[in-house]
Structure 1
């Protein structure tokens, strides 16, 4: 298993310190939320991107990519009825792709529930049409940067669009592009009728990236979810990507979250 952790876990920490502490606990990857760097990714200069990458590499950590791509931004929306907004959003995803490549990353996780919600009365099929149009504006950048965009299904408590792994798989199939794949998240999958392990196996075709967390919003091992069958399922589908810790409840503190999450995952790994 290759373990990574999301940088917003260490809220307020200097980037170099985050990298050093992650490496200290045994993580070899760091996943970055763009809003921790600047309000917009275009505000992060080429020189700063180079510095961030070098600081990570000096600590023995790779920046694996970006997530929370559209969080804390305005004017972007995946399923907007306005073609100009969709184009603007796709072009911003292209900018995020270029930044990911500059940082040394190879993937981006498209969650951002508020920036993809369907307006009342809009069908899932129409939402898919709009999402495909939006994504068409970043496909060339994905190819050029060799960066994979991973669509993240979320729960109905967070969004009304892409709320199951099967819907994420269906959209991947619609886009039909080698650099558009599926992201799976334990917290999100826990809301589906089938066990998490079965959902992983059922959606192996496009599965590319994985977030480890608990439905209680904390890290793996901090709740009731047993990760042993989940890790067996990852092995069954020959998953060789990153297992990245993403939490939404930052108690008790970043060090405890990082240390105990990886300790528990190592216990569960087959």
Structure 2
């Protein structure tokens, strides 16, 4: 199992400090929130991208990809009926894919609940068709650059579009590209699915390309009530061989505590399943 850390937890540090710290705790990968690099990904120059990649590699880390793709941006939306906004969103996904590949990454997690919810009484079918169109427009670049867009189902308290893995797979299959896959997040599955998380993992294994580990208390794995033994057992049984990234939303214990406790717990659980 390969463990990575979502780096916004340490965004107040320099990039080199982030990499050294994350690598120091034993993580092999680093997952980047674009807003920590620049307000607009197009502002990150080719030279800067090269420096970011080389710095990470020098610490022994692989930049595995991006998440929070549209967070802290304006003017982008996945399902809106405004065609010009959808076109800009597709163009931005293309720019993100280019940056992701330049950094050495292969994954882009599409969560961004505020930029995908149904608007103005739009039907679910119209929203789905609009989302398919936006993602399809980005696929030629993704396919050439070797980047996958990972669709992340989120719980109903975060968005009203794509709440379950089944709905995520519907979108994936309608896009019809090998460069779009399913992303699974423990917190989201616990809040949005009607069956136990281990069963969800097994049922949707063939579509799953990435995985986020966290707890419903918004902290890291092993820092709340969620037991990861059955979750990691399901990943092992389904032959998942991708990354498991720690993504947290409550930073109050401190970045060092979260990073260290999370990887120690995950390593211990993985060794026992």
**Which digits, 9 at most, give the CA deviation of each residue in 1:131-181, with x for residues without a partner?**
011112211110111001100000111111011111101111111100000
Q: How many aligned positions are there? A: 270
The answer as to whether partners of 2:11 and 2:18 remain within 8 angstroms in 1 is: no
1:175 maps to which residue? 175
Q: 1:117 aligned to 2:114?
A: no
Give the Cα–Cα distance (whole angstroms) in 1 for the partners of residues 205 and 172 of structure 2: 12
Give the Cα–Cα distance (whole angstroms) in 1 for the partners of residues 88 and 185 of structure 2: 27
1:47 maps to which residue? 47
Q: How high is the TM-score relative to the length of structure 2?
A: 0.97
Q: What's the secondary structure of 1:5's corresponding residue? A: strand
Aligned counterparts, 1:45-84, within 5 A: 45-84=45-84
Q: How high is the TM-score relative to the length of structure 1?
A: 0.99
Q: 1:85: how far off? A: 1.0
Q: 1:189: how far off? A: 0.3
Q: Which runs of 5 or more structure 1 residues have no equivalent in the other structure?
A: none
Q: Which runs of 5 or more structure 2 residues have no equivalent in the other structure?
A: none
Q: What's the secondary structure of 1:183's corresponding residue? A: strand
2:36 maps to which residue? 36
Give the Cα–Cα distance (whole angstroms) in 2 for the partners of residues 243 and 37 of structure 1: 22
Q: 1:146 aligned to 2:152?
A: no
**Which digits, 9 at most, give the CA deviation of each residue in 1:48-84, with x for residues without a partner?**
0000000000000000000000000000000010111
1:105 maps to which residue? 105
Give the Cα–Cα distance (whole angstroms) in 1 for the partners of residues 127 and 240 of structure 2: 30
Q: 1:218: how far off? A: 0.5
Q: What's the secondary structure of 1:243's corresponding residue? A: strand
1:202 maps to which residue? 203
2:239 maps to which residue? 238
Aligned counterparts, 1:241-256, within 5 A: 241-256=242-257
Q: 1:184: how far off? A: 0.2
The answer as to whether partners of 2:65 and 2:100 remain within 8 angstroms in 1 is: yes
**Which digits, 9 at most, give the CA deviation of each residue in 1:4-36, with x for residues without a partner?**
000101130111111111111110000000000
1:187 maps to which residue? 187
1:85 maps to which residue? 85
Segments of 4+ in structure 1 off by > 4 A?
none
